[in-house]
Amino acid sequence: MRRSLHFVVALALASSCFATAQQLDFLIRGGTVVDGSGSPAARADVGITGDRIVFIGDGHGKHAKREIDATGLVVTPGFIDPHTHTAGDLSDPKRRRNDAYLMQGVTTVVTGNDGESPREVGATLAKWQKQGIGTNAALFIGQGTVRGQVMGMSDAKPTPDQLERMKRLVETAMQQGAIGISTGLYYAPGSYSSTEEVIDLAKVAAQHGGIYDTHMRDESSYTIGLVGAVRETIRIGQEAHLPVMISHIKALGVDVWGQSADVIKLIDDARHSGLSITASQYPYTASGTSVTAALVPRWAEAGGALIKNLDAPDVHARLVAEMNQNLVRRGGADSLLMTDSRDKSIVGKTLAVIAKERNESPIDAAIEIIKAGGSGVASFNMKESDIEAFMRQPWVMTCSDGSEGHPRKYGTYPRKIHEYVYERHVLSLEVAVRSSTSLPASTLGLKDRGLLKTGYFADVLVFDPKTFNERATYESPRVLATGVRYLAVNGQLAIENGALTTTLAGRALKH
């Protein structure tokens, strides 16, 4: 008898402990839940305890330490950006909170894209984890960085020994937690690598379960052409046996406008043949690059001799002729807007305006700008019909490719939803959210993120559909977005009542 009474008391204690453990830290009540899977939106309450989502459903009768009224608001997983340039921000004590991204509802950023990454993947991730960061962050190892480390700016073919050293660097980075290898085959020094050289390095990433992310060799008609570059990417994926992701897919310049249809067909065929191939995209008609990358042919940069070549009489005629061709390709001097330069007097002006002011040709003006330290440019070179065609594909995810001087760093995610969902009805809200959450999570292999699902990490966004929008413009690119009411990163509020908190709840994510 006594024994069984003890048993009952023990049971009661156990169940009360259970009830305490079940008390929620947060209950987000009454919002429209878009869970990231693409399933239809539904009204539901979302419960969070610790760093996890522990409840989704009718929270009537549930108790939480903190209730959030989400009536009239949309609740989604935090957005995951597969292509950013945030390594510097995250390492900087003043910028590590990653405000531009939090205010768009982004809870995870990937960086090290375009072939350019920190050399030390392990040390960089450890630093971020130790000092604290506002969003979660993951890293690619950059093939351009690796090549630069071994071969400098040489345009030569690597010797067997150099290739071996590059492979070891990729292997070390993968062992230290890189999620894959990125290339920037359009940029020097990545552009000096043959397809075979890239395949050899991608195979190392494949052995460690990594993916291949690429700013392709050509998004236009510079060298092998847009379609040729997609074929090269497919070949790399097939021969190195790893998933491939095309960065910021686009048809750049008048020569290739309308080729989105051919590219989509090629990718669909590759997918049907069994290759895992996806793409990311930012929702703007201008790309962001530099005057040098946009106009100067790569041969003029080889061996780090750019400035010397700009002045060399023996190559001047060829250089100017090719730069002129590249300017036509990009839509002319009116379509290049200076966005970020040491010379503040040129920022906000087009190359056409600068050339006119200086009474010289656009190419001469561009050469002077490069010699004075260069400039970032917004290059208006995309057609809206291509952007929309790519955006509709179920394998296209959202990315910001955020860089200084382009509004995409501050506005991509709210812009996509405001402009392409609510204004133009190109996508449903469910599809747009999927492209910014579960699709990147599954592509990048980020475990337990990208969905509102019990047991998943509590990266949760609550936004107001009436005010969720970008405020950054090409003229004022560094303006934070509006409309995020609450944002949880690993279960802690990074944004509360529309304002940033001091919380640094992001984690360095290792593959």
Determine the Cα–Cα distance for residues 224 and 189; give it in Å rounded to an integer: 17
Q: How many residues bind Zn ion (CB under 5 A)?
A: 2
**Cβ-based nearer residue to Zn ion, 247 or 350:** 247
Instruction: Tell me: cis bond preceding 189? Omega within 30 of 0 counts.
Output: yes
293-330: buried (b, 16+ CB within 10 Å) or exposed (e) per residue? bbbbbbbbbbeeebeebbeeeebeeebeebbeebbebb
Taking the least distance from each CB to Zn ion, the nearer of 114 and 386 is: 114
Residue 208 near Zn ion by CB under 5 A: no
Helix (H, G, I), strand (E, B) or coil at 203: helix
Three-state DSSP class for residue 341? strand
Cβ-based nearer residue to Zn ion, 186 or 413: 186
CA distance 159 to 265: 37
| Single-letter amino acid code for the residue at 348 | G
- In 32-159, alpha helices (H): 87-91, 99-102, 121-131, 143-151
In this complex, which beta carbon is closest to Zn ion, that of residue 115 or of residue 177?
115
Nearest distance from C-beta of residue 144 to Zn ion, angstroms: 11
**Only segment of 44-52, 117-125, 211-219, 479-487 that touches Zn ion (CB under 5 A):** 211-219
Give the one residue of 52, 85, 147, 215 binding Zn ion; rule: CB under 5 A: 215
Minimum distance, C-beta of residue 247 to Zn ion, in the bound complex (Å): 5
Nearer residue to Zn ion within complex by CB, 83 or 449: 83
Residues 324-363 that bind Zn ion (CB under 5 A): none
* Interacting positions 276-295 with Zn ion (CB under 5 A): none
Stretch that binds Zn ion, among 106-114, 313-321, 388-396, 426-434 (CB under 5 A): 106-114
Give 245's strand partners. 213, 278
**CB nearer Zn ion, residue 391 or residue 460:** 391
Contact segment (CB under 5 A) with Zn ion among 38-46, 114-122, 404-412, 450-458 equals 114-122
Nearer to Zn ion, 114 or 430 (CB): 114
Q: Residue 373 is encoded by which pair of tokens?
A: 């330290």
- Beta strands 64-69; 52-57: pairing state: unpaired
Closest C-alpha among 491, 506, 493, 462 to residue 24: 491
Report the nearest approach of Zn ion to the CB of residue 53 (Å). 33
Which residue's entry shows tokens 């990125």?
182
- In the complex, the smallest distance separating the C-beta of residue 27 from Zn ion, rounded to whole angstroms, is 41
| Nearer to Zn ion (CB atom), residue 83 or residue 97 | 83
Q: Which stretch binds Zn ion (CB under 5 A): 112-120, 145-153, 278-286, 297-305?
A: 112-120
**394 to 423, contacts with Zn ion by CB under 5 A?**
none
Rounded Cα gap, residues 246 and 183, in angstroms: 10
Residue 114 touches Zn ion, criterion: CB under 5 A: yes
Closer of 263 and 363 to Zn ion (Cβ) = 263
Q: Which of 473, 474, 471 is nearest to 336 (CA)?
A: 474
Among 209-217, 331-339, 361-369, 377-385, which window interacts with Zn ion (CB under 5 A)?
Answer: 209-217
The least distance separating Zn ion from the CB of residue 288, rounded to whole angstroms, comes to 9
The DSSP secondary-structure symbol of 185 reads T
Residue least distant from Zn ion (Cβ) = 215
Q: Which is nearer to Zn ion, 51 or 89 (CB)?
A: 89
Are the beta carbons of 436 and 427 closer than 8 angstroms?
no
Cis before 160? omega within 30: no
Backbone φ, ψ for residue 368 (5° rounding): -60, -40
Nearest-approach distance from CB 215 to Zn ion, in angstroms? 4
Distance from C-alpha of 438 to C-alpha of 37, rounded to nearest angstrom? 6
Q: The tokens of 281 are what?
A: 């995209």
How many other β-carbons are positioned within 10 Å of the β-carbon of residue 285?
15
Closest CB 23 distance from Zn ion, rounded Å: 46
386 interacts with Zn ion by CB under 5 A? no
Strands annotated E in 79-210? 79-81, 106-111, 136-139, 141-142, 180-184
Question: How far is it, in rounded angstroms, from Cα 137 to Cα 474?
Answer: 27
Q: How far is the CB of 193 from Zn ion (least distance, A)?
A: 16
Q: Which residue number, 213 or 459, has a Cβ lying nearer to Zn ion?
A: 213
Closest distance of CB 270 from Zn ion, Å: 21
- Minimal distance, residue 197 CB to Zn ion, in Å: 19
Strand duo 460-463 + 74-77: pairing: antiparallel
Residue numbers of the site for Zn ion (CB under 5 A)?
114, 215
